Amino acid sequence: MTLAGGNLFADLPARLAEERFDELLGAPDLRIERIVSTGHTTPPGVFLDQEWAEWVVLLQGAATLLFDGEAEPRRLGRGDYLYIPAHARHRVEWTDPAQPAVWLAVHHRQGRKREAL
């Protein structure tokens, strides 16, 4: 058995040219990653449409996420989390450029509905 560890707040740059994605754990139906944003957003007019469901928590910083069909973006601060079902179209409208936004994202494949017994 190999044990691995680290610190989610290690090596946080003040500025990044692009968002940083660090995979912490990968398995066939599960991926856990740290995402670091320094003022990054989804390109204008683009909505993300992911094959996998995602549970995300903002550990540090501030951000806003907009879901397709909603009038206003959702503001997230330290400790706020969201569950994003697969194919829920969304975009990052804003991340605080004054401090890194540190996200912990848990991606998983959505299972099939169980048949009634």
What does the alpha-carbon distance between residue 40 and residue 63 come to, in Å, rounded to a whole number?
9
* Whether the Cβ atoms of residue 98 and residue 68 lie closer than 8 Å to each other: no
- Report pLDDT for 1: 64
- This prediction has a pTM of 0.86
With 0-12 / 13-18 / 19 or more C-beta atoms within 10 angstroms meaning exposed / middle / buried, residue 76 is: buried
Asked, for residue 2, whether it belongs to a domain, the answer is no
Asked, for residue 116, whether it belongs to a domain, the answer is no
Q: Give the structural domain span for 44.
A: 20-108
CATH number of the domain within which 49 lies:
2.60.120.10
- Report pLDDT for 4: 77
What does the alpha-carbon distance between residue 45 and residue 53 come to, in Å, rounded to a whole number?
22
Asked, for residue 7, whether it belongs to a domain, the answer is no
Strands (E), the chain: 20-27, 30-37, 53-60, 63-67, 74-76, 81-84, 90-95, 101-108
Q: What is the pLDDT of residues 50-82, one digit of tens each?
A: 999 999 999 999 999 999 999 999 999 999 999
Asked, for residue 57, whether it belongs to a domain, the answer is yes
Which parts of the chain have pLDDT scores under 70?
Answer: 1, 111-117
Q: How many domains does the chain have?
A: 1
Asked, for residue 77, whether it belongs to a domain, the answer is yes
